[in-house]
Amino acid sequence: MSVGLDYLLNPRSVAIIGATAREGSVGGVITRNLLTKFRGRIYLVNPSYNELLGHRVYRSVLEIPDEVDLAVIVTPAPTVPKVMSECVAKGVRVAVIISGGFSEVGEDGTRLEREVKEVAQGRVRILGPNCIGIYNAFNGLDTFFIPQVRMERPRPGPIALISQSGAVAAAILDWAARRSIGVGLAVNYGNKLDISEVELLGALASNENVRVIVIYIEGLKYADEGRKLLEVMRQVTRIKPIVVYKAGRSKSSSRAVKSHTAALAGNYEIYRAMLRQAGAIEVNNLMDALEVAKALATQPLPRGNRVLVITDSGGAGVQAVDNVETVGLVVPELPQDLRNTLAKSLPPFASTANPIDLTGSATDAMYKFVLDTVLPTDHIDMVLILAQMQLPGMTPKLADYIIEVRRFGKPIVVYGISANEEARTFKARLEEGGVPTYDRLETAANALRALYEYAVIRGLARPH
């Protein structure tokens, strides 16, 4: 792991430089968040106060009678060089500079940014400036400066996010929280004065809380960054899956990227080819990135691309097949002997070819029977279960059967559009039991595709 990155993810002690109790201000939100949530030692620094919210306030980081692993800096840009020199003197390991007013505002800011870098001398590693920083659900380290009422925080979980945009990270974490998707770690690096996505990727790869890494990227600033990033990606994808959403794909959006992050969006087709070569899984938006990551974090990898579809609605079954085949997977007709076995115990109106359509008369027991019968055979590699809790024969108990058949070692994802009380219970049980659920067939299909793609990358399945 790169020097200092461990202190960024797991500091024992944090100093907030520019701490304040002012409601709604950047410093105020961070101060309150860290005081209430961070599971470590916390020190407030601000020369204007002796005490804040019942906590002692130090005039400078130098006064703190303890080692400081991480400094969160929220003071105005012009003060940051001096603050940084104190951090160097104190032996602070990493500084997250939240403050804006650096290279993103023009030449004066660029000079200031250079000055901060010179002062730090590489002895204090820097995340930012002009960033939203870090969110770590495992230890409560949260520099995201949007109050909880405006942005919910996701529960601890195996997905980590690296985002080139702070606002995009905040918006998607809020979304993930409301969907109960466990994004345990998220980092935004702002102007990237020191710590880059390349180093972050390396650090997250060796972090044991992280099983899947999601990257949001708009573009790169320097020519050799792309090469470095892909090199690290190639190494990381041998251990953990990386899901990438690359924005800035067209000429007009490249213009927007330039104005947003001062980066070069580059030729999207070249990006695509490079990402593929590096073994990254590409998606078309961040919601799908997290949904797909959910499957990668919980499911075994398939040995092939053949999908079994079980449904209680013929129409939804048809749509499922469309979606699964659109992403390049197949829904093979089951062999006659297996169909006969199924037909013997299923009602005559059920269709057994694949999709298995149990119709509106479906019951939990029929699903269980189909899963127990087909999953152990070598005719299919993955399962997409469509189950609607609108039907009289269906109950949330089906979740337990589904969790049980995980023992066959094949990936399972569940689709259901219904949101009534039983459907919510059903889905919650599945998610707790390690089975991802989706309310869009397209997303469910993308999740299966990602599992297959990663299996191919890891050499566990043949490319089709």
Are the beta carbons of 425 and 356 closer than 8 angstroms?
Answer: no
List phi, psi (to 5°) of 241: -70, 145
Dihedral of the alpha carbons of 34, 36, 37, 40, in degrees to the nearest 10: 70
Using the 8-state DSSP alphabet, how is residue 407 labeled?
A: G
Q: Which two tokens stand for residue 96?
A: 């997250």
Near a copy of itself in 139-158, by CB under 8 A:
146, 149-152
Subset of residues 404 to 423 that bind a copy of itself, contact rule: CB under 8 A = 417-422
CB-based contact 382:416 (threshold 8 Å):
no
Site for a copy of itself in 58-77 (CB under 8 A): none
Site stretch for a copy of itself (CB under 8 A), options 37-45, 168-176, 401-409, 453-461: 168-176
Question: For residues 346 and 366, is the Cβ–Cβ distance under 8 A?
Answer: yes
Does 252 sit near a copy of itself (CB under 8 A)?
yes
Answer whether 448's CB lies under 8 Å from 295's CB.
Answer: yes
Q: Is the CB of 105 or the CB of 274 nearer to a copy of itself?
A: 105
> Residue 253 is encoded by which pair of tokens?
């959006």
Binding segment for a copy of itself (CB under 8 A), chosen from 9-17, 190-198, 251-259, 290-298, is: 251-259
The minimum distance between CB 49 and a copy of itself, in angstroms, equals: 23
Task: Note whether 249 binds a copy of itself by CB under 8 A.
Answer: yes
Give the binding-site size for a copy of itself (rule: CB under 8 A): 74
Place of tokens 């944090």: 14
- CB of 122 or CB of 328, closer to a copy of itself: 328
Sheet with 356-357, side-by-side order of all strands? 356-357, 307-311, 382-386, 412-415, 437-438
The conformation of residue 217, written as its DSSP 8-state character, comes to: E
Q: Which position among 54, 65, 223, 259 is part of the footprint of a copy of itself (CB under 8 A)?
A: 259
> How many Å separate Cα 419 from the centre of its chain?
24
Tokens 């073994």 sit on residue: 279
Q: In whole angstroms, how large is the CA radius of gyration of the chain?
A: 25
- Work out how close the CB of 390 gets to a copy of itself at its nearest, in angstroms, rounded to a whole number: 5
| Residue 323 to residues 289, 450, 453, Cα–Cα distance (Å) | 17, 14, 16
CB 218 → a copy of itself: shortest distance, Å?
6
Residue 424 binding a copy of itself, by CB under 8 A: no
Segment 328 to 367, residues that bind a copy of itself, using CB under 8 A: 330-333, 349, 351, 353-355, 357, 360
Footprint on residues 383-402 left by a copy of itself (CB under 8 A): 388-392
Q: Which of positions 173-192 make contact with a copy of itself (CB under 8 A)?
A: 174-175, 178
Q: Could you tell me the two tokens for 437?
A: 């659920």
Residue with tokens 């089951």: 334
CB of 266 to a copy of itself, least distance (A): 13
Q: Which amino acid is at 248?
A: G
Of the pair 47, 349, the CB lying nearest a copy of itself is at 349
Cβ-based nearer residue to a copy of itself, 70 or 176: 176
Residue of 315, 328, 409, 434 that binds a copy of itself (CB under 8 A): 315
Q: Which two tokens stand for residue 350?
A: 């059920």
Separation between Cα atoms, residue 401 and residue 89, nearest integer Å: 60
Asked whether the beta carbons of 420 and 450 are under 8 A apart, the reply is no
What is the smallest separation between the CB atom of 96 and a copy of itself, expressed in angstroms? 17
Among 19, 21, 44, 172, interactor with a copy of itself by CB under 8 A: 172
Residues within window 75-114 making contact with a copy of itself, judged by CB under 8 A:
104-105
Nearer to a copy of itself, 231 or 322 (CB): 322
CB of 152 to a copy of itself, least distance (A): 8
Cis peptide before 347 (omega within 30 of 0): no
For a copy of itself, the closer CB: 362 or 412: 362
Which of 86, 197, 442, 453 binds a copy of itself (CB under 8 A)? It is: 442
Question: Minimum distance between the CB of residue 443 and a copy of itself, rounded to whole angstroms?
Answer: 11
**How many CB atoms lie under 10 A from the CB of residue 347?**
12
**Cβ 254 to a copy of itself, closest distance in Å?**
9
